[in-house]
Amino acid sequence: MKLVLFTLCLCVFAVICLADNQPVLVFKKGINPREISAFKSWTVQQGMDYESLEDEQQKMEVFANNIRTIEEHNSKKEGTWKMEINKFSHLSFEEFSSLYLMLAQNCSATKGNHVISSKAAPPHKDWRDEGNFVTPVKNQKKCGSCWTFSTTGCMESATAIHVQGHPLYSLSEQQLVDCAQAYDDHGCEGGLPSHAFEYIRYNHGIMNESAYPYVAEDQKCKFQASKAVAFVKKVVNITQGAEGDIVDAVAFQNPVSIAFQVTPDFQGYKSGVYSNPTCGTKPDQVNHAVLVVGYGTDSATNMDYWLIKNSWGPDWGINGYFKMQKGVNMCGIATCASYPIVV
Protein backbone atom coordinates (compact mmCIF):
# COMPACT_ATOMS: atom_id res chain seq x y z
CA MET A 1 0.00 0.00 0.00
CA LYS A 2 2.85 2.39 0.85
CA LEU A 3 4.45 1.86 -2.55
CA VAL A 4 1.12 2.50 -4.33
CA LEU A 5 0.60 5.74 -2.41
CA PHE A 6 4.20 6.69 -3.05
CA THR A 7 3.82 6.18 -6.77
CA LEU A 8 0.61 8.26 -6.80
CA CYS A 9 2.39 10.96 -4.85
CA LEU A 10 5.19 11.03 -7.42
CA CYS A 11 2.69 11.33 -10.24
CA VAL A 12 1.35 14.53 -8.65
CA PHE A 13 4.80 16.03 -9.11
CA ALA A 14 5.17 14.73 -12.67
CA VAL A 15 4.55 16.78 -15.79
CA ILE A 16 3.78 15.62 -19.32
CA CYS A 17 6.17 16.76 -22.04
CA LEU A 18 6.01 16.07 -25.73
CA ALA A 19 9.02 14.71 -27.57
CA ASP A 20 8.32 13.67 -31.15
CA ASN A 21 4.61 13.71 -30.23
CA GLN A 22 5.24 11.02 -27.59
CA PRO A 23 4.43 11.69 -23.90
CA VAL A 24 7.46 11.54 -21.60
CA LEU A 25 7.21 11.57 -17.83
CA VAL A 26 9.71 13.86 -16.11
CA PHE A 27 9.71 13.33 -12.35
CA LYS A 28 10.60 15.76 -9.61
CA LYS A 29 14.36 15.99 -9.15
CA GLY A 30 14.87 14.08 -12.39
CA ILE A 31 13.92 10.65 -11.06
CA ASN A 32 12.77 8.51 -13.98
CA PRO A 33 10.44 5.48 -14.13
CA ARG A 34 13.34 3.03 -14.51
CA GLU A 35 14.91 4.30 -11.28
CA ILE A 36 11.55 4.15 -9.49
CA SER A 37 11.08 0.54 -10.63
CA ALA A 38 14.60 -0.38 -9.48
CA PHE A 39 13.95 1.22 -6.11
CA LYS A 40 10.67 -0.69 -5.68
CA SER A 41 12.36 -4.00 -6.52
CA TRP A 42 15.27 -3.22 -4.18
CA THR A 43 12.87 -2.30 -1.36
CA VAL A 44 11.09 -5.65 -1.65
CA GLN A 45 14.38 -7.56 -1.93
CA GLN A 46 15.83 -5.88 1.17
CA GLY A 47 12.61 -6.08 3.16
CA MET A 48 12.77 -2.36 3.88
CA ASP A 49 10.14 -0.61 5.96
CA TYR A 50 10.05 3.19 5.93
CA GLU A 51 8.99 5.45 8.78
CA SER A 52 6.93 7.72 6.57
CA LEU A 53 6.11 8.62 2.99
CA GLU A 54 8.61 11.47 3.24
CA ASP A 55 11.33 9.10 4.43
CA GLU A 56 10.56 6.72 1.57
CA GLN A 57 10.77 9.53 -0.99
CA GLN A 58 14.05 10.77 0.46
CA LYS A 59 15.54 7.27 0.32
CA MET A 60 14.38 6.89 -3.28
CA GLU A 61 16.09 10.14 -4.27
CA VAL A 62 19.34 8.97 -2.67
CA PHE A 63 18.96 5.56 -4.32
CA ALA A 64 18.48 7.18 -7.75
CA ASN A 65 21.60 9.30 -7.28
CA ASN A 66 23.58 6.21 -6.26
CA ILE A 67 22.37 4.30 -9.33
CA ARG A 68 23.68 7.07 -11.58
CA THR A 69 27.04 7.06 -9.80
CA ILE A 70 27.28 3.29 -10.18
CA GLU A 71 26.36 3.32 -13.86
CA GLU A 72 28.77 6.16 -14.64
CA HIS A 73 31.60 4.37 -12.86
CA ASN A 74 30.94 1.01 -14.52
CA SER A 75 30.85 2.61 -17.97
CA LYS A 76 34.52 3.63 -17.75
CA LYS A 77 36.57 1.27 -19.86
CA GLU A 78 39.80 2.00 -18.00
CA GLY A 79 38.34 1.02 -14.62
CA THR A 80 39.93 -1.77 -12.59
CA TRP A 81 36.91 -2.46 -10.36
CA LYS A 82 33.12 -2.47 -10.50
CA MET A 83 30.31 -1.05 -8.37
CA GLU A 84 26.84 -2.47 -7.75
CA ILE A 85 23.52 -1.74 -6.10
CA ASN A 86 23.77 -3.27 -2.64
CA LYS A 87 22.22 -3.12 0.83
CA PHE A 88 23.70 0.38 1.36
CA SER A 89 22.33 1.93 -1.83
CA HIS A 90 19.59 3.90 -0.05
CA LEU A 91 22.13 5.75 2.10
CA SER A 92 23.98 8.95 1.35
CA PHE A 93 27.67 8.75 2.22
CA GLU A 94 27.04 10.98 5.24
CA GLU A 95 24.41 8.54 6.53
CA PHE A 96 26.60 5.56 5.72
CA SER A 97 29.59 7.08 7.51
CA SER A 98 27.61 7.80 10.66
CA LEU A 99 26.35 4.20 10.80
CA TYR A 100 29.23 2.03 9.58
CA LEU A 101 32.51 3.97 9.76
CA MET A 102 34.49 5.05 12.76
CA LEU A 103 35.58 8.60 13.46
CA ALA A 104 38.93 9.38 11.82
CA GLN A 105 41.76 7.95 13.91
CA ASN A 106 45.32 9.22 14.20
CA CYS A 107 47.23 5.97 13.90
CA SER A 108 50.82 6.00 12.76
CA ALA A 109 53.89 3.98 13.67
CA THR A 110 56.72 6.08 12.28
CA LYS A 111 59.15 3.36 13.32
CA GLY A 112 57.75 -0.12 13.75
CA ASN A 113 59.13 -3.25 15.38
CA HIS A 114 58.37 -5.88 12.74
CA VAL A 115 61.44 -8.02 12.06
CA ILE A 116 61.86 -8.79 8.36
CA SER A 117 62.44 -12.45 7.58
CA SER A 118 65.39 -13.62 5.52
CA LYS A 119 63.13 -15.37 3.01
CA ALA A 120 61.74 -14.10 -0.29
CA ALA A 121 57.98 -13.66 -0.12
CA PRO A 122 55.95 -15.77 -2.57
CA PRO A 123 54.11 -13.90 -5.35
CA HIS A 124 50.72 -15.02 -4.03
CA LYS A 125 49.34 -15.62 -0.55
CA ASP A 126 45.87 -16.43 0.79
CA TRP A 127 45.64 -17.69 4.36
CA ARG A 128 42.24 -19.21 3.59
CA ASP A 129 44.07 -21.75 1.41
CA GLU A 130 46.56 -22.69 4.15
CA GLY A 131 44.10 -24.42 6.47
CA ASN A 132 41.34 -23.53 8.92
CA PHE A 133 42.92 -20.21 9.84
CA VAL A 134 40.36 -17.52 8.92
CA THR A 135 36.90 -17.21 10.45
CA PRO A 136 33.87 -16.47 8.25
CA VAL A 137 33.08 -12.85 7.43
CA LYS A 138 31.16 -11.14 10.24
CA ASN A 139 28.79 -8.16 10.29
CA GLN A 140 29.46 -5.13 12.51
CA LYS A 141 25.95 -3.77 11.79
CA LYS A 142 25.15 -0.13 12.64
CA CYS A 143 28.13 0.48 14.91
CA GLY A 144 31.55 1.98 14.10
CA SER A 145 33.23 -1.07 15.63
CA CYS A 146 35.21 -2.17 12.57
CA TRP A 147 38.40 -1.91 14.66
CA THR A 148 37.15 -4.70 16.93
CA PHE A 149 36.51 -7.02 13.96
CA SER A 150 39.95 -6.28 12.53
CA THR A 151 41.42 -7.06 15.95
CA THR A 152 39.52 -10.30 16.54
CA GLY A 153 40.09 -11.46 12.97
CA CYS A 154 43.83 -11.03 13.40
CA MET A 155 43.82 -12.65 16.86
CA GLU A 156 41.71 -15.57 15.63
CA SER A 157 44.06 -16.31 12.75
CA ALA A 158 47.32 -15.72 14.65
CA THR A 159 46.25 -17.99 17.52
CA ALA A 160 45.08 -20.79 15.22
CA ILE A 161 48.31 -20.56 13.20
CA HIS A 162 50.88 -20.27 15.99
CA VAL A 163 49.47 -21.92 19.13
CA GLN A 164 49.92 -25.67 18.91
CA GLY A 165 46.59 -27.49 18.97
CA HIS A 166 44.57 -24.29 19.36
CA PRO A 167 41.24 -24.34 17.46
CA LEU A 168 40.00 -21.46 15.33
CA TYR A 169 37.89 -19.60 17.88
CA SER A 170 35.49 -16.80 17.02
CA LEU A 171 36.50 -14.09 19.50
CA SER A 172 34.39 -11.41 21.15
CA GLU A 173 34.16 -8.03 19.46
CA GLN A 174 31.69 -6.91 22.12
CA GLN A 175 34.31 -7.28 24.84
CA LEU A 176 36.48 -4.77 23.00
CA VAL A 177 33.55 -2.42 22.42
CA ASP A 178 32.69 -2.45 26.12
CA CYS A 179 36.02 -2.78 27.89
CA ALA A 180 38.92 -1.14 25.99
CA GLN A 181 38.22 2.56 26.67
CA ALA A 182 41.32 2.98 28.84
CA TYR A 183 43.42 2.19 25.76
CA ASP A 184 42.05 5.10 23.71
CA ASP A 185 39.38 2.99 22.04
CA HIS A 186 35.82 4.26 21.92
CA GLY A 187 33.35 1.46 21.23
CA CYS A 188 30.97 2.27 18.40
CA GLU A 189 32.76 5.58 17.82
CA GLY A 190 35.98 3.91 16.69
CA GLY A 191 39.36 2.70 17.84
CA LEU A 192 42.58 1.10 16.68
CA PRO A 193 43.57 -2.58 16.48
CA SER A 194 47.06 -1.79 17.81
CA HIS A 195 45.48 -0.28 20.93
CA ALA A 196 43.08 -3.22 21.22
CA PHE A 197 45.99 -5.69 21.10
CA GLU A 198 47.57 -3.77 23.98
CA TYR A 199 44.30 -3.99 25.89
CA ILE A 200 44.12 -7.76 25.38
CA ARG A 201 47.76 -8.09 26.46
CA TYR A 202 47.40 -6.24 29.75
CA ASN A 203 43.85 -7.43 30.37
CA HIS A 204 45.13 -11.01 30.23
CA GLY A 205 42.98 -12.24 27.41
CA ILE A 206 39.83 -12.05 25.34
CA MET A 207 36.71 -14.21 25.55
CA ASN A 208 34.89 -16.26 22.95
CA GLU A 209 32.07 -14.77 20.88
CA SER A 210 29.68 -17.35 22.33
CA ALA A 211 30.55 -16.31 25.90
CA TYR A 212 30.37 -12.57 25.20
CA PRO A 213 28.10 -12.10 22.14
CA TYR A 214 28.00 -9.09 19.87
CA VAL A 215 25.09 -6.63 20.23
CA ALA A 216 26.36 -3.70 18.08
CA GLU A 217 26.06 -1.06 20.80
CA ASP A 218 28.04 0.23 23.77
CA GLN A 219 27.32 -1.41 27.09
CA LYS A 220 29.02 -2.06 30.44
CA CYS A 221 32.08 -4.32 30.50
CA LYS A 222 31.27 -7.95 31.35
CA PHE A 223 34.71 -9.53 30.94
CA GLN A 224 35.37 -12.71 32.94
CA ALA A 225 39.05 -13.61 33.19
CA SER A 226 38.25 -17.29 33.75
CA LYS A 227 36.66 -17.45 30.30
CA ALA A 228 39.52 -15.88 28.32
CA VAL A 229 40.67 -18.13 25.46
CA ALA A 230 43.23 -16.06 23.50
CA PHE A 231 46.19 -14.03 24.76
CA VAL A 232 48.78 -11.50 23.54
CA LYS A 233 52.46 -11.59 24.47
CA LYS A 234 53.62 -8.64 22.37
CA VAL A 235 52.22 -6.11 19.88
CA VAL A 236 53.99 -5.57 16.57
CA ASN A 237 53.53 -2.28 14.72
CA ILE A 238 54.68 -1.94 11.12
CA THR A 239 56.50 1.22 10.09
CA GLN A 240 54.22 3.78 8.46
CA GLY A 241 54.11 3.32 4.68
CA ALA A 242 56.23 0.14 4.68
CA GLU A 243 54.12 -2.07 2.43
CA GLY A 244 57.05 -4.41 1.94
CA ASP A 245 56.98 -5.15 5.66
CA ILE A 246 53.25 -5.93 5.45
CA VAL A 247 53.98 -8.36 2.60
CA ASP A 248 56.61 -10.05 4.74
CA ALA A 249 54.30 -10.24 7.77
CA VAL A 250 51.37 -11.63 5.77
CA ALA A 251 53.60 -14.10 3.94
CA PHE A 252 55.39 -15.54 6.97
CA GLN A 253 53.46 -14.59 10.12
CA ASN A 254 49.68 -14.32 9.79
CA PRO A 255 46.96 -11.94 8.55
CA VAL A 256 47.58 -8.31 9.50
CA SER A 257 45.24 -5.61 10.83
CA ILE A 258 45.25 -2.43 8.76
CA ALA A 259 43.15 0.74 8.46
CA PHE A 260 42.40 3.04 5.52
CA GLN A 261 40.20 5.90 4.41
CA VAL A 262 36.82 4.92 2.98
CA THR A 263 35.48 7.44 0.45
CA PRO A 264 31.96 7.49 -1.10
CA ASP A 265 32.54 5.15 -4.05
CA PHE A 266 33.79 2.31 -1.84
CA GLN A 267 30.29 1.98 -0.36
CA GLY A 268 29.15 0.38 -3.64
CA TYR A 269 32.20 -1.84 -4.30
CA LYS A 270 31.40 -5.11 -6.09
CA SER A 271 34.58 -6.67 -7.48
CA GLY A 272 37.98 -6.01 -9.01
CA VAL A 273 41.03 -4.16 -7.67
CA TYR A 274 39.91 -1.01 -5.89
CA SER A 275 41.86 2.21 -6.35
CA ASN A 276 41.00 5.86 -5.87
CA PRO A 277 43.48 8.70 -6.42
CA THR A 278 41.42 11.10 -4.29
CA CYS A 279 41.42 9.19 -0.99
CA GLY A 280 43.75 10.23 1.80
CA THR A 281 46.88 8.53 3.13
CA LYS A 282 47.57 10.54 6.27
CA PRO A 283 47.40 8.94 9.74
CA ASP A 284 44.52 11.17 10.81
CA GLN A 285 42.36 10.28 7.78
CA VAL A 286 41.79 6.54 8.25
CA ASN A 287 38.19 5.72 9.18
CA HIS A 288 37.84 1.96 8.70
CA ALA A 289 39.86 -1.00 10.00
CA VAL A 290 39.98 -4.36 8.21
CA LEU A 291 42.16 -7.48 7.88
CA VAL A 292 44.69 -8.31 5.15
CA VAL A 293 44.58 -12.08 4.60
CA GLY A 294 46.65 -12.24 1.43
CA TYR A 295 47.90 -10.62 -1.74
CA GLY A 296 48.46 -11.39 -5.42
CA THR A 297 48.30 -10.07 -8.98
CA ASP A 298 44.99 -9.66 -10.81
CA SER A 299 44.97 -11.62 -14.07
CA ALA A 300 42.59 -9.23 -15.83
CA THR A 301 44.46 -5.98 -15.11
CA ASN A 302 47.94 -7.25 -14.14
CA MET A 303 47.59 -5.06 -11.04
CA ASP A 304 49.05 -6.13 -7.71
CA TYR A 305 46.45 -6.25 -4.94
CA TRP A 306 45.85 -6.86 -1.25
CA LEU A 307 43.14 -9.40 -0.41
CA ILE A 308 41.16 -7.96 2.49
CA LYS A 309 38.45 -9.27 4.81
CA ASN A 310 35.77 -6.68 5.63
CA SER A 311 33.14 -6.66 8.40
CA TRP A 312 29.98 -5.67 6.48
CA GLY A 313 28.66 -9.20 6.07
CA PRO A 314 29.20 -11.80 3.31
CA ASP A 315 26.57 -10.12 1.09
CA TRP A 316 28.87 -7.15 0.38
CA GLY A 317 31.72 -7.08 -2.16
CA ILE A 318 33.38 -10.38 -3.02
CA ASN A 319 31.56 -12.52 -0.44
CA GLY A 320 32.55 -9.99 2.20
CA TYR A 321 36.09 -9.42 0.88
CA PHE A 322 37.65 -6.84 -1.42
CA LYS A 323 40.87 -6.31 -3.34
CA MET A 324 42.82 -3.06 -3.08
CA GLN A 325 45.74 -1.86 -5.18
CA LYS A 326 49.04 -2.88 -3.61
CA GLY A 327 52.36 -1.01 -3.63
CA VAL A 328 51.17 2.61 -3.57
CA ASN A 329 49.81 2.95 -0.01
CA MET A 330 46.33 3.19 -1.51
CA CYS A 331 43.98 5.14 0.80
CA GLY A 332 46.56 4.88 3.60
CA ILE A 333 46.47 1.10 3.78
CA ALA A 334 50.10 0.99 5.02
CA THR A 335 49.68 3.85 7.50
CA CYS A 336 48.84 1.88 10.65
CA ALA A 337 49.34 -1.87 10.27
CA SER A 338 49.80 -4.15 13.26
CA TYR A 339 49.49 -7.71 14.53
CA PRO A 340 49.99 -9.55 17.84
CA ILE A 341 52.49 -12.12 18.99
CA VAL A 342 50.18 -14.63 20.69
CA VAL A 343 50.67 -17.23 23.41
pLDDT for the residue numbered 106: 78
| Residue 44: inside a domain | no
| Residue 149: inside a domain | yes
| Residue 3: inside a domain | no
Average pLDDT, the chain: 91
pLDDT beyond 80 at 190: yes
pLDDT beyond 60 at 26: no
Which listed residue (66, 86, 107, 146) is catalytic? 146
Burial of 181 (0-12, 13-18, 19+ CB in 10 A): middle
pLDDT for the residue numbered 111: 78
Q: Are 77 and 40 in contact (CB under 8 A)?
A: no
| Residue 123: inside a domain | yes
| Residue 162: inside a domain | yes
| Residue 27: inside a domain | no
pLDDT beyond 80 at 23: no
- How many structural domains are present in the chain? 1
- Find the domain containing 272 and state its range: 97-342
Q: What CATH number did the domain enclosing 138 receive? A: 3.90.70.10
d(CA 161, CA 157): 6
pLDDT tens digits for range 263-281: 999 999 999 999 999 999 9
- Whether 288 is a known active-site residue: answer yes
The DSSP symbol for 251 reads: H
pLDDT tens digits for range 53-95: 999 999 999 999 999 999 999 999 889 999 999 999 999 999 9
Which listed residue (90, 143, 310, 336) is catalytic? 310
Q: Is the pTM of this model over 0.85?
A: yes
Q: Minimal CA–CA distance to 337: which of 264, 296, 297, 286?
A: 286
Q: Cβ contacts of residue 335 below 8 Å, gap of 6+?
A: 107, 108, 240, 241, 259, 260, 281, 282, 283, 286, 329
- Whether 114 is a known active-site residue: answer no
| Residue 77: inside a domain | no
pLDDT beyond 60 at 25: no
Half-sphere exposure of 332 (CA within 13 A, CB side): 26
| Residue 31: inside a domain | no
d(CA 287, CA 97): 9
